[in-house]
């Protein structure tokens, strides 16, 4: 029995309540399970993967008992809408549509073997390259849900409500409800992508009994034995390496007898004394899940592999003597036992046989030992999102509970999966931390009621502009942490420093070494323009490339003075080597000029009176109410004194020269000739010109002037 099968988050899946009430509860539950499966696997946002869906669904009692009587009374729904909401043809495609999955989407129906056949079909699709990832499973839910059955003599249903597979008292099966889904991926790719691997499917097979049996609904020894042998052959493993078999195990006299006979035939080469294999049946735990029975058996087996324990078979007291287990390589475990280790990985098999004769068998083995994450940055961004504030709060509570468990996750892995393996919704919260303890503290005091939802639609991404500062923002020690912890930042700095070394006769990497950050020489050099400008360019460029590597890409840029060269380089106006050459010569030329000063004035440019200071230039207008002027140091001091007497706020900037003033005119021609030697291109990312104050044009960007 499942809890709350009538509950459905219609809004999450973009259904109206009116639409949702007509959809088969089996398909609703399967849709929700599919979402959780994708999230669990880290592929809830399928941007870069082709994901297929292979699944089957049980008989639709809901349509007969609930929908048809309602429509008969109200007649306000079209027949076509009822078909779309209830027909099993649309089980897989509904999932693909809901989550934008573009791989094959196929509903598989073979009665009781449906979900294991779907898993086999998904494996074949992956091997053929039809998709990168496959979602496979099944669902079966009884309606009315809380209802018994009338036992009929000769029927497969148990007279006492218990499934006693292979037991001397076995007299029938019981029916259960459930849904199960696995996410499948080629092992080589899963290892490459460092996915969480729960188990490995070594091989699988599907066949049909044909007509060589007593009736359409009867099982066949030959068909079952054949599919087991085919699966072993496809898996390229020997039968004597299988320690556990999750059987079809319905607990019926005929079914159990034929299944054991087929197993003994398939395992005829195995010596009963050397390697006995345990037999189990999940139906003794949760009943026969019909179309979902096969995936339920697979999930149980994967859990057994993970825990390295063979579970007991419930309601078993004594083997049915007709089965002949005493002289077979099989036994029924009556208690939970440790799964012994061998020279090969632990292996198991799962059988699922459908009424009508379609049989499926799968060979699985335990997952390879995962190599722990190696490099990790010291700080981590943990991101969460949901479609509502209530859901976001619940997600935060789930994360806190997840961290509290006995085997806490690796913080770096947690941050990575939440950032890249989840779909981003409108309501979001973010935590920046260095440890799980810090994250726990932040989660404990987080109050999402104070957060405002993003104004963006789910289909939109926030736009980011990159701003690059100019000279005067430098300090010893800038970028050291990034250089030590971020390989891309370090590689970029190393490349630029190597290219600049012959131009500067100095290695800028001296500034990125922690031990030398307080060196008196560096404290002096960092304010000498011939070093300052290349150092600032390299730091800003490397940081921008790091952000872009994280997929934080600018739609526009603005650079102040030297920063405009970073923007131009990122925009493609010139390549990196050209930019480094220009910046190195620019810094040298400026440093060769007489010293000067700059003054920030909190007054509009139109109101600033410079009539008595002809040698002072307006260097930049940064805002409507503020201006920066530049000129000879003595003149700047006189202007500052005058402004102070007028109670106008002004601040002397930490610069060596009067940048953007007439004092730099002597180097313009030499620099123009240098620029003319290099190819300039039209910008690919818009950026604002320091000269015009608006978007730079292609003509301006390609002009040496």
According to the model, what pLDDT value does residue 72 have? 81
According to the model, what pLDDT value does residue 269 have? 86
Beta strands at 178-184 and 133-140: parallel, antiparallel or unpaired: antiparallel
Q: Is residue 307 among the annotated active site residues?
A: no
Cis upstream peptide for 475 (omega within 30°): no
According to the model, what pLDDT value does residue 372 have? 81
Please name the residues in contact with 43: beta carbons below 8 A apart, sequence gap of 6 or more.
49, 51, 133, 183, 421
Please name the residues in contact with 192: beta carbons below 8 A apart, sequence gap of 6 or more.
none
Query: 264: closest CA among 229, 297, 305?
Result: 229
Q: Is residue 248 among the annotated active site residues?
A: yes
According to the model, what pLDDT value does residue 276 have? 87
Which candidate in 120, 288, 657, 660 is catalytic? 288
> Contact, 130 vs 102, CB < 8 A?
no
Mean pLDDT of 627-634: 96
Which candidate in 120, 162, 248, 660 is catalytic? 248
Burial class (CB in 10 A: 0-12, 13-18, 19+), 228: buried
CA 67/CA 19 separation, integer angstroms: 12
> Contact, 132 vs 49, CB < 8 A?
yes
Strands (E), 141-283: 178-184, 199-208, 244-246, 277-280
According to the model, what pLDDT value does residue 298 have? 98
DSSP assignments along 515-542, one per residue: GGTT-HHHHHHTTSHHHHHHHHHHHHHH
According to the model, what pLDDT value does residue 229 have? 97
Q: Is residue 59 among the annotated active site residues?
A: no
Q: Is residue 561 among the annotated active site residues?
A: yes
According to the model, what pLDDT value does residue 147 have? 84
What are the φ/ψ torsions at residue 559 (nearest 5 degrees)? -125, 135
According to the model, what pLDDT value does residue 406 have? 75
DSSP letter assigned to residue 30 = H
Query: CA separation (Å) from 314 to 164, 166, 218, 300?
Result: 7, 11, 25, 14
DSSP letter assigned to residue 220 = -
Query: 353: closest CA among 240, 477, 256, 491?
Result: 256
> Contact, 200 vs 285, CB < 8 A?
no
Q: Which strands make up the sheet holding 617-623, listed edge to edge?
A: 617-623, 626-631, 597-601, 650-652
Q: How many CB atoms are located within 10 Å of the residue 688 CB?
A: 19
Strands (E), 48-132: 51-57, 105-107
Q: Give the tens place of pLDDT for each residue, 110-154.
A: 999 999 999 999 999 999 999 999 999 999 999 998 888 888 888
Which candidate in 96, 112, 204, 657 is catalytic? 112
Mean pLDDT of 663-687: 96
Q: What pTM was estimated for this model as a whole?
A: 0.83
According to the model, what pLDDT value does residue 600 have? 95
What are the φ/ψ torsions at residue 604 (nearest 5 degrees)? -60, 145
Say whether pLDDT at 189 is over 90.
yes
Say whether pLDDT at 376 is over 90.
no
Q: How confident is the model at residue 569 (pLDDT cuts 50, 70, 90)?
A: very high
According to the model, what pLDDT value does residue 619 have? 94
């Amino acid at each position: 029995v499942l809890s709350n099968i009538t509950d459905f988050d219609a809004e999450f899946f973009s259904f109206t309540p009116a639409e949702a009430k007509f959809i088969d509860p089996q398909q609703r539950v399967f849709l929700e399970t599919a979402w959780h499966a994708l999230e669990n696997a880290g592929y809830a946002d399928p941007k870069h993967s082709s994901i297929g869906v292979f699944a089957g669904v049980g008989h639709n009692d809901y349509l007969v008992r609930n929908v048809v009587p309602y429509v008969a009374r109200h007649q306000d729904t079209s027949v076509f809408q009822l078909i779309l909401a209830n027909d099993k043809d649309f089980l897989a495609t509904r999932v693909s549509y809901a989550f934008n999955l573009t791989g094959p989407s196929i509903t598989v129906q073979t009665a009781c073997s449906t979900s294991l056949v779907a898993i086999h079909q998904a494996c074949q699709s992956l091997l053929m390259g039809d998709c990168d990832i496959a979602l496979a499973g099944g669902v079966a839910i009884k309606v009315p849900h809380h209802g018994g059955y009338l036992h009929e003599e000769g029927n497969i249903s148990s007279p006492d409500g218990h499934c006693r597979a292979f037991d001397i008292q076995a007299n029938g099966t019981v029916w259960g409800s459930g849904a199960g889904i696995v996410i499948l991926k080629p092992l080589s790719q899963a290892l490459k992508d460092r996915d969480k691997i729960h188990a490995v499917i070594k091989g699988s097979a599907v066949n049909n009994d044909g007509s060589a049996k007593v009736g359409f609904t009867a099982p066949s020894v030959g068909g079952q034995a054949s599919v087991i042998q085919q699966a072993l052959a496809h898996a390229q493993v020997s039968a004597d390496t299988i320690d556990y078999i999750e059987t079809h195990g319905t607990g019926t006299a005929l079914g159990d007898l034929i299944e054991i006979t087929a197993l003994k035939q398939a395992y005829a080469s195995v010596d009963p004394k050397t390697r006995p294999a345990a037999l189990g049946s999940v139906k003794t735990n949760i009943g026969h899940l019909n179309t979902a029975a096969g995936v339920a058996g697979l999930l149980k087996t994967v859990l057994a592999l993970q825990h390295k324990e063979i579970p007991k078979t419930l309601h078993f007291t004594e083997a049915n003597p007709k089965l002949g287990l005493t002289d077979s390589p099989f036994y029924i475990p009556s208690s939970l036992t440790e799964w012994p280790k061998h020279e090969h990985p632990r292996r198991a098999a799962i059988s699922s046989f459908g009424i009508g004769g379609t049989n499926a068998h799968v060979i699985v083995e335990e997952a390879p030992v995962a190599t722990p994450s190696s490099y990790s940055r010291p700080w981590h961004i943990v991101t969460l999102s949901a479609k509502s504030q209530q859901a976001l709060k619940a997600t935060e509570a789930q994360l806190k509970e997840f961290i509290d468990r006995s085997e806490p996750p690796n913080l770096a892995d947690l941050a990575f999966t939440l950032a890249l393996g989840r779909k981003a919704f409108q309501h979001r919260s973010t935590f920046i931390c260095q440890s799980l303890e810090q994250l726990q503290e932040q989660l404990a005091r987080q109050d999402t009621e104070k957060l405002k939802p993003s104004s963006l639609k789910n289909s939109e991404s926030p736009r980011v502009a990159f701003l690059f500062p100019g000279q005067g923002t430098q300090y010893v020690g800038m970028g050291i942490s990034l250089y030590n912890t971020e390989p891309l930042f370090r590689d970029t700095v190393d490349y630029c420093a190597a290219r600049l070394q012959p131009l500067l006769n100095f290695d800028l990497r001296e500034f990125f070494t922690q031990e030398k950050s307080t060196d008196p020489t560096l404290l002096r050099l960092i304010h000498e323009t011939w070093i300052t400008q290349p150092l600032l360019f390299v730091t800003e460029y490397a940081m921008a490339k790091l952000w872009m590597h994280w997929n934080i890409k600018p739609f526009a840029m603005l650079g102040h003075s030297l920063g405009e060269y970073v923007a131009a380089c990122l925009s493609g106006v010139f390549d990196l080597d050209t930019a480094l050459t220009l910046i190195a010569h620019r810094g040298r030329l400026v440093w060769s000029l007489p010293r000067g000063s700059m003054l920030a004035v909190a007054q509009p440019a139109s109101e600033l009176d410079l009539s008595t200071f002809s040698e002072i230039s307006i260097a930049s207008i940064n805002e409507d109410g503020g201006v920066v002027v530049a000129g000879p140091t003595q003149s700047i001091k006189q202007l500052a004194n005058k402004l102070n007497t007028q109670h106008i706020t002004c601040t002397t900037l930490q610069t060596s020269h009067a940048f953007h003033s007439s004092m730099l005119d002597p180097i313009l021609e030499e620099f123009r000739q240098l620029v003319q030697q290099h190819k300039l291109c039209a910008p690919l990312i818009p950026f604002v010109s320091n000269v015009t104050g608006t978007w730079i044009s292609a003509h301006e960007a390609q002009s040496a002037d």
